[in-house]
Structure 1
Amino acid sequence: MTIPKEIQENRIAWAKSDAQRDKGLTMPEDVEQFCQIAYAEDGLAAHTLNVYRPKNAGDTLPLLISIHGGGWFYGDKELYRFYCAHMAQLGFVVVDCDYRLAPEYSYPAAIEDVCRVVRWSLENREKFTRNKHWFMMGDSAGAQLVSQYCILAGSPAYREQLDFCTYDQLPDGVALNCGIYDMSMDNDHTGNYTHETPAAQKKLLEQVLDYMNDSFPAAYVMTSVNDGLRPHTAPMKKKLETLGVPFVYAEYGEGVPSDSHVFHLNLYSENGRRCNQAEADFLHGLVKE
């Protein structure tokens, strides 16, 4: 297929920006890596994942599944290796996965792959940990995918209307970073993911928040005051409040304009490291409850 010029240009520009952000970083020596593991048997490169685990930490750490962002059309697990290794250092076995991207694969490819990743992770976690607690985290489009997964996993009525591979296991908690949650708000941001999606399926995606219920896991929801997508956090915050789901809402970046969208991926950022530690503490706190 012909990839739109705007997407090609964005992929190149964002890759350069991410490389600059991570310049000088190296993989920490105290984290072991298990790389290029297939979570589906079709041979697609997009159906692979990496696992990061702190060395000498035993086999009792909770599992944390990371879903990368990138507007549903950009990104891969390798771009998140430093961030995921950093989260591993904060006390998790971290699954860092790829999934099929738009427009080569439009909706529901990405969310179907998230369901597959969760299934694989839970079926194989004993290879990495004996801890039964598990969490999910995502940023931007990845936050939308995490929230959508939790809604469909917690709502049989929603799953019954979907015609793709789903899964019904809910995490103990989630970290939702700089996300988009109401898919009907802004087609400029969501159009690539839903390109050529049949109207009935697109409508279900746009209605996903209507199916959210109080089974949704406890959440750490964050954004940056410098993020143009900040208004997209409001629907999730309102829904959590209405349903009585425990959550923490945090805004970062005051006085630091460079800490904007997905600033937490920048391991040189003080706000980024502070946010990551706060989220780790929040998730670890759920284990103790």
Structure 2
Amino acid sequence: MKINEKLMQAVTKFRTGAKKSDDKRDAGLPHNIPEVERFDNLQYGQDSKWNSLDIYLPKKVDPPFPTIINVHGGGWVYGTKETYQYYGMGLAKRGFAFINPNYRLAPEHAEFPDELNDVDTYLHWIDDHADEYR
């Protein structure tokens, strides 16, 4: 067995277990809550599949908002903005703006530092659009 096959098997096993755990944790949670304004699937980079983000803003707090810029966990091989949306909405409900991205993941995107380049692009997009989203 090649190292790449072993690596992909390990990543697949990790992703499957993590997703099962995340889905169990999030079962029944609402996609929208009245205290939070959502902006979904805003493209911040060239890759329309991976370079998108969501913004969750508090409705009961006056701008400018204290802002949490999320770079999700998952060891650069797991996670999406959908995985972390409930965490972000909970923080927005408590008065924070929460910026929640997708970015390319390894090993499918193994040209390191693709993931970090996406995060850099994401951070610049936030800076460029801060006034627009308060």
Q: Which residue of 2 aligns with 1:80?
A: 84
Q: d(CA) in 2 for partners of 1:43 and 1:68? A: 18
CA displacement 1:13-49 (0-9 Å, x = unmatched) = 2101100011222232210100000001x24311000
Gaps of 5+ in 1: 130-289
Q: d(CA) in 2 for partners of 1:43 and 1:98? A: 10
Q: d(CA) in 2 for partners of 1:9 and 1:43? A: 26
Looking at CA atoms only, which structure, 1 or 2, has the larger radius of gyration? 1
Q: d(CA) in 2 for partners of 1:128 and 1:57? A: 13
TM-score normalized with structure 2 length? 0.87
2:120 to 96, 115, 118: 115
- Tell me how many residue pairs correspond in the alignment: 128
**Given that residues 60 and 95 in structure 2 are in contact (C-alpha distance below 8 angstroms), is that contact kept between their aligned partners in structure 1?**
no
Q: Which has the higher contact order (CA 8 A, sep 6+)?
A: 2
Q: d(CA) in 1 for partners of 2:130 and 2:67? A: 8
2:55 to 51, 60, 64: 51
Q: d(CA) in 1 for partners of 2:95 and 2:106? A: 33
Letter in 2 for 1:93: A
Q: Which moved more, 1:94-103 or 1:58-67?
A: 58-67
**Given that residues 51 and 93 in structure 1 are in contact (C-alpha distance below 8 angstroms), is that contact kept between their aligned partners in structure 2?**
yes
Question: By percentage of residues, which structure has more helix?
Answer: 1
The root-mean-square deviation of aligned C-alpha atoms, in Å, is 1.7
1:62 to 40, 60, 66: 66
Q: d(CA) in 2 for partners of 1:43 and 1:10? A: 25
**Given that residues 70 and 101 in structure 2 are in contact (C-alpha distance below 8 angstroms), is that contact kept between their aligned partners in structure 1?**
yes
Q: d(CA) in 1 for partners of 2:95 and 2:61? A: 8
Q: Percent identity?
A: 33
Q: d(CA) in 1 for partners of 2:71 and 2:91? A: 13
Q: Which residue of 1 aligns with 2:11?
A: 7
- Aligned-residue offset at 1:88: 1.1
Partner-residue secondary structure (3-state), 1:6? helix
Alpha-carbon spacing, 1:44–1:122, altered in 2? closer, same or farther (3 Å): same
- Aligned-residue offset at 1:5: 1.3
Matched, 1:102 2:106: yes
Q: d(CA) in 2 for partners of 1:73 and 1:43? A: 17
**Given that residues 59 and 128 in structure 1 are in contact (C-alpha distance below 8 angstroms), is that contact kept between their aligned partners in structure 2?**
no
**Given that residues 93 and 128 in structure 1 are in contact (C-alpha distance below 8 angstroms), is that contact kept between their aligned partners in structure 2?**
no
TM-score normalized with structure 1 length? 0.42
